[in-house]
Structure 1
Amino acid sequence: MFGIPVPVPRDLARAAANVRARIGSGGLADLRPTDSEVVDENADRTIRRFRSADGPGVGAPVLLVTPLAATSIAFDLRRGCSFVEYLRDTGRDVYVVDYGPVNFADRSRGFEHWVDDVVPDAVRVVSADAGGSDVHLAGWSLGGIFAVYAAAAHRELPLRSLTPIASPFDLRQVPLFATLRPLDRLFGPLTVTPFYRLVGTVPAPLTSLGFKVASVDKYLTRPWTVLTNLDDRDHLEQIEAVDRFMNSMYAYPGRTFGQLYHVVMRSNEFATGHMRIGGRQVDLDAIDVPVMVVAGSGDGLAPKQAVRHLTDLLGGAPTVRYGVYPGGHLGVLTGRSARDTMWPAFAAFLADCDDAGSDPTGPR
């Protein structure tokens, strides 16, 4: 009546089959986790190993660092579209560090907890488990920022390479923060700080809402996307898996949120290349291993220009690669296109670093 076309899938028979399968099984996606085993755990984190069934791992192991609030499901979204499954199937041993749910008792944990304790400890555990090997350290979103600062602060760590994925370092380039900054100048001190100090954490529903607000256009067009792609089972499985991920968010420790709030909203300190952590200054030009910086072409939370800024801060790295790949904030890590773009590029980078690491004249 209003002249708005109704989305119609191209293959109606296949669409009908997908609808029947969805109704009959309660879901289309295979959400079983990839087989893994716990290598080490304590009150702060759990480290899981995903090992190839074909024998000893090829090359140095990979350690994936999760951000706060998001669960490690991000690295193992669903069968057929799992980052850890892909890397494991290349013959490489993969490890993931997960922090578990955050509660009021964790309210005093700050940025230094992850940079000085959790990430360095995880690197050492992985290295020891892999027979003393160097470690390829990679992290997504804030996990990438943790990895970068841990590598800079602890040059003694046995690292082979470093890869931050969708990790913004110039927050002036993030539209969301540019919009919020004037409001922060007016109301921030009166609202945000008292809130996180009183509650102790940023509750999980709010962290989930934050991710959804950052990609609100996708949520508004979700019904249209589903109807248009009813005949594309892989697309429907991906939507299902992303919904599961969004509904699995954790809370944010209050002190860390407060630190990031001031660093991100007030000073844009990440963009300077140095930051005071644990009472001393940490400089990013201290990083002395090869780095691959990954950005998503459609990432609204970490736009490519905000991510690319890191490449200007890595004066001590022997090589720095920068790549823009299809996808938004989550999609560049584990979207359907990542299988044919970012994942192979990352695997090639790891192989190149392994080759260089075996050369006494190459990067350590």
Structure 2
Amino acid sequence: MALPTPGLPRRLGAARTNLTDKLRRRPIADLRGMPREVVEQRASFTLYRYDPVAGIEQQGRPVLLVPPLAAPALAFDLRRGCSLVEYFVHQGRPVYLVDYGPVSFAHRGLGIEHWVDSVVPAAVELVVAHSGAASVHLAGWSLGGIFTVFTAAAHPELPLASVTAVASPFDLRQVPLLALARPIDRVAGPLVGPAYRALGGVPAPLTRLGFQVSSLDKYLTKPVAMVVHADDRDFLAQLEAVDRFMASMYAYPGRTFGQLYHVVMRSNEFATGTMELAGRPVELARIDVPVLVVAGTGDTLAPEPAVHHLLDLVTGSPDGRLVRAPGGHLGVLTGRAARRTTWPAMEVFFRQHDPVVPATAGG
């Protein structure tokens, strides 16, 4: 006679509650954004400052979060209990976010240099002015990490305390998905340019499809995973938050997509450490601030070798460091395991590179 499984009644009760909430379309995830204020709104971006937590002393240099294109900035604040922003504000660290908003046909002429030479430098200077800090920790995810790194290289005059790139591939030969796409490029490549120029970019549904293809196994097995974890409310909350994220994808501006397409499919220019932007070479070896690289062990869009290659390029950095953490392309930034891995590792790095404030006389 089989013995009852310990805790089975509790698990069945939890599964029943979760299933009832799902069927009645009650939210499981707490999708409220962390409280924030608008520091400045411009035509090409909005700068936000997240509210400090009452009772927690503010300490350390501010961190400025830099999102990619197409993917919404809410990746940094996915849901309560699994939000990088929430984690940092509870550490007492001042947190800022530059948000580009949705991309439209009007943005079709914007290239990578727009973000590297205009948006990110302006956001850094605004953070310094607003916070009163002498320097800023600059941290980006995916293409946002690439913007972050090239901004630091192109503008050594910016007051940066450190640079962090999370899930940002720099050697695209190490991305298996791109190897599979190259034969298609040889056939369909001549049609790509006219298509994105006519459309003004890549529409949001296609960017969403690309993200889904990169994690096709998880996408296809999602119904099974929901059944297996029916009693795990935190697991279901994460799926719900990711669904919202996926539904919020933006389009890619045409010129930026064209630049990336050339780098991804043709030249692998990122891997050289030098890129032509606005008519001049930008060399990553010129970066002279500490650099943190975060790679997801399950990331198919930006596998560890592709991400790790950045450390071979930032030869002028006084402290180049790699953190390996569980998760895919989004999960390494804001998966449930990131609470124990990626976020604490970033905070430790920031603390080590928060310039020491001299004690005042008699202090």
Give the TM-score of the pair, scaled to structure 2: 0.94
What code does the residue aligned with 2:108 have?
A: R
1:270 aligned onto 2:270: yes
Question: After alignment, is 60-69 or 179-188 more displaced?
Answer: 179-188
SS in 2 for 1:75: helix
**Cα distance in 2 between the residues matched to 1:231 and 1:238:** 13
Structure 2: any 5+ residue segments left out of the alignment?
1-7, 359-363
SS in 1 for 2:353: helix
Partner residue in 2 for 1:362: none
SS in 1 for 2:354: helix
The 8 Å contact of residues 141 and 164 in structure 1, kept in 2 or not, is answered as: yes
Runs of 4+ aligned structure 1 residues displaced above 4 Å come to none
The 8 Å contact of residues 51 and 57 in structure 1, kept in 2 or not, is answered as: no
**Cα distance in 1 between the residues matched to 2:241 and 2:299:** 19
The 8 Å contact of residues 38 and 48 in structure 1, kept in 2 or not, is answered as: yes
**Cα distance in 2 between the residues matched to 1:328 and 1:154:** 31
The 8 Å contact of residues 56 and 91 in structure 2, kept in 1 or not, is answered as: no
Question: After alignment, is 176-185 or 142-151 more displaced?
Answer: 176-185
What code does the residue aligned with 1:301 have?
A: L
Partner residue in 1 for 2:5: none
Deviations 1:17-50 (A, max 9, x none): 1112333452200101110011011110011111
SS in 2 for 1:354: coil
Structure 1 residues 95 and 9: CA distance shift in structure 2, 3 A = farther
> Across the two proteins, how many residue pairs are aligned to each other?
350
**Cα distance in 2 between the residues matched to 1:251 and 1:25:** 28
**Cα distance in 1 between the residues matched to 2:288 and 2:332:** 26
Partner residue in 2 for 1:101: 102
**Cα distance in 2 between the residues matched to 1:268 and 1:276:** 13
Partner residue in 1 for 2:174: 173
What code does the residue aligned with 1:256 have?
A: T
Question: After alignment, is 123-132 or 59-68 more displaced?
Answer: 123-132
Partner residue in 2 for 1:341: 341
- Cα RMSD for the two superposed structures: 1.5
Structure 1 residues 278 and 9: CA distance shift in structure 2, 3 A = farther
SS in 2 for 1:161: strand
**Cα distance in 2 between the residues matched to 1:185 and 1:65:** 33
Q: Cα offset for 1:184?
A: 1.2
**Cα distance in 2 between the residues matched to 1:134 and 1:44:** 23
Partner residue in 1 for 2:39: 39
SS in 2 for 1:81: coil
Q: Cα offset for 1:12?
A: 1.5
Deviations 1:78-114 (A, max 9, x none): 0010000100110011011111111111100011000
Partner residue in 2 for 1:148: 149
Q: Cα offset for 1:201?
A: 1.6
SS in 2 for 1:116: helix
**Cα distance in 2 between the residues matched to 1:131 and 1:351:** 18
**Cα distance in 1 between the residues matched to 2:216 and 2:305:** 21
Partner residue in 1 for 2:137: 136
Partner residue in 2 for 1:351: 351
The 8 Å contact of residues 56 and 90 in structure 2, kept in 1 or not, is answered as: no
The 8 Å contact of residues 62 and 94 in structure 1, kept in 2 or not, is answered as: yes
Q: Cα offset for 1:155?
A: 0.2
**Cα distance in 1 between the residues matched to 2:337 and 2:246:** 19
Deviations 1:296-352 (A, max 9, x none): 000000000100000100110000110110100000000000001111111100000
What percent of counterpart residues are identical?
A: 61
The 8 Å contact of residues 296 and 303 in structure 2, kept in 1 or not, is answered as: yes
